[in-house]
Amino acid sequence: MSLTPPSERLWWKEPIERVELLWVGLALLWALIMFVMMPYWHIYGKQNLSNEAYRTTPEQFSKKVDAMVEKYTVRKETARGYPVVAPPAGSDVYLLGRLWEWYPILELEKGKKYRLHLSSMDWQHGFSLQPENINVQVIPGYEMVITVTPNKTGEFAIVCNEYCGINHHQMLGRIYVK
């Protein structure tokens, strides 16, 4: 039942208005352009990273993070005593996201290749490397692996760019490249 029912009850049998057809056509065209942009941007824009993903659990993943932290911590930083971890060049490095922090702080070497593993302990988070334009979804239950070769030295911030609750805006992390 409707407050203002169409005068012609069998409205779906009416011919489509030309303007409406034009809009449907434009929307379809735009959808196709956006679709083609995905592979295009992967190849020419060097975005839409090709990465690997594996199933995991928060328990399994945090075990790997803890093992790395235990082995390669070089110092502690910030008021909360975050470990700064410097794994050997070419190795697998692990970073976890959880409400509301990135853990631990990583220290990498310029020009060396690493396999960066990302996962979440709870909610969906977004790994956004600043000031570079690198964004990866971090999803609980999945381990994303990206091969990275830092090409600049300095201090990089990790910002969470997926809304994850009341302290989302404070979910920051740090990567050093030396």
Q: Which is nearer to ligand CUA, 109 or 171 (CB)?
A: 171
DSSP 73: E
Interface residues with ligand CUA (CB under 6 A) are: 97, 100, 125, 160, 162-164, 168, 171
- Structure tokens of 59? 């328990």
Q: Tell the smallest beta-carbon distance from residue 168 to ligand CUA (Å).
A: 4
Strand arrangement, sheet containing 82-85: 73-77, 82-85, 105-108, 172-177, 154-160, 125-130, 134-138
State how far the Cα of 68 lies from the Cα of 98, in Å rounded to an integer.
17
Query: Which of residues 30 and 163 has its CB atom nearest to ligand CUA in the complex?
Result: 163
Q: How far is the CB of 97 from ligand CUA (least distance, A)?
A: 6
Nearer to ligand CUA (CB atom), residue 109 or residue 160 = 160
Q: Write down the least CB distance from residue 4 to ligand CUA, Å.
A: 43
